Structure 1
């Protein structure tokens, strides 16, 4: 296959680089819906938005409240997210763990590396 410099090539190189990360996970792998939830939690955190379990369970795009609750529980057990207390002891805030943040750091490095034109 001939190396080209189309914008799609950057994305394809990124996918290739992320295969290495997924091949050596520091945390148990996530299912596709869990990945979507993780991305949502990460974006909320990046925007300094508070995201409670109740807020998350109200998101229709992730399925029923029971399904979302099950995914949150699974993601906590796998070490991707954590629940922290709020001023209301009945409400828990969803946040990324340090290991999840390190995973996003690795993905960011893949993006930067993918943008470098191969020789």
Structure 2
């Protein structure tokens, strides 16, 4: 007896493949809040929107500004993000590092692989 494929099977297979990436030597792992922050930064970059440290710290749904500041510092130290200068020397632009972009490339490959296997 064969089991019917559910739409969720694709997503669950993707999660399984993405989890396997965590075991590969690359960047240090992120905690759940850092993963949310990374996704926000990636989406802003994809949409060609500027995202400064001040903009990020103003996002109340992510927690207190001090918490966000410590997470951004941690993410810089781990190699996920970098800060670049803007026309205002007091403001820093948040951007993904090349290593973070490669991580998203790997996740994309996981998604394609999952779609091909289901």
TM-score, normalised via structure 2 length = 0.95
Q: Which runs of 5+ in 2 are unaligned?
A: none
Is 1:24 the counterpart of 2:24? The answer is yes
**In structure 2, distance between residues paired with 1:91 and 1:117:** 46
Partner of residue 94, structure 1: 94
**In structure 2, distance between residues paired with 1:74 and 1:80:** 9
Q: Is the 8 A contact 1:5 1:117 kept in 2?
A: no
> How far did residue 5 of structure 1 move?
2.1
**In structure 1, distance between residues paired with 2:107 and 2:37:** 17
Is 1:5 the counterpart of 2:15? The answer is no
**In structure 2, distance between residues paired with 1:10 and 1:105:** 18
4+ runs of 1 displaced by more than 3 Å? none
Q: Is the 8 A contact 1:53 1:93 kept in 2?
A: yes
Q: Which runs of 5+ in 1 are unaligned?
A: none
